[in-house]
Structure 1
């Protein structure tokens, strides 16, 4: 478990599946992830996150607000899955939050805690990537002090040709290289 002033980050448990499914099913969230996810797809994601925790001791954390214990999102670090062979095996930080939690600094607060934790594990580089058009996530990456690395930009293999989400940008974080 990782704590911040307003948030608790913890490994997901089966009781979180409904809240995670609601976030994953939201069309606004799905707009940056290739579409909203069905309950089965969301449960598969949770299964993968739980397996990653079991194997590596870290992964994508459920983000709860301290004041009401509501699950408002997920953030964390994990090894990029093999479905993305261009980056597979690298450690990625990512996040997704319920839209009513957007614009309140939760993503930056939670991601900063997860990034710090990753560097405490002696991970020497953590990347973040998103669609070139996802300026909100890129703003979080910049607030975390991550550096844009245009040499690593790529066309996402899981996104169809011609889809505006196919071109991706890559940001890099290194220990103590961020505020």
Structure 2
């Protein structure tokens, strides 16, 4: 069972999702600039009720995920505004590798929030015993690729192993992080 998560950074709180987050979550996952990079299922979420259903599924699935997999909300601490989502999940098709991914509302881009939340998630995952994390991005998703690099992730190549599409793969291990004591 994945433990409930509440991590605080300098500017953010990473916490569990609630179905009450549907309207704010739709501003993230329903934004065309975000949705274009998501899985086909997520690209169909176009209204608050559909988003509430997705969040309900995420909340219900959370206790049954292989630790430390999970999905969490990113909240700006200064005003309590929900600005993004973050997840750790096992990558298909073999579910051997943990993927870190993040999505931010477009009006929150360019402030370093994805990097800040990603660093906190990386440290938390390594503290849970994960030995390496991957991030995958479509070659034209320059924002995701730049964030992976800012997180200290190493480019390990291009692959079609995950999601049956050509992706850039990045990896980080505990020795690659500033806190190498883990």
Q: TM-score range by the shorter chain?
A: 0.7 to 0.9
Which of 43, 46, 51 is the equivalent residue of 1:38? 46
**Which TM-score applies when normalising by structure 1?**
0.83
Displacement over 6 Å in runs of 4+: none
Distance 1:52-1:123 versus aligned 2 partners, 3 A rule:
farther
1:61, CA displacement in angstroms? 1.3
Give the distance between the partners of 1:30 and 1:154, measured in 2 at CA. Answer: 20
Residue 92 in structure 1 maps to residue 92 in structure 2 = no
Distance in 2 (CA, whole Å) between partners of 1:5 and 1:157 is 34
Aligned residues: 167
Distance 2:53 2:133 in 1: 24
| Partner Cα separation in structure 2 for residue 116 and residue 23 of structure 1 | 24
Gaps of 5+ in 1: 159-165
Residues 22-171 of structure 1 mapped to structure 2, 5 A cutoff: 22-33=27-38, 35=43, 37-39=45-47, 42-55=51-64, 56=67, 58-80=69-91, 84-85=92-93, 88-150=95-157, 153-154=159-160, 157=163, 166-171=165-170
1:18-54 deviation line (CA, Å, top 9, x unaligned): 2112211111111222546334653454244324431
Displacement, 1:156? 5.4
Unaligned runs of 5+ in 2: 1-5
TM-score (norm 2): 0.82
- Aligned-CA RMSD value: 2.1
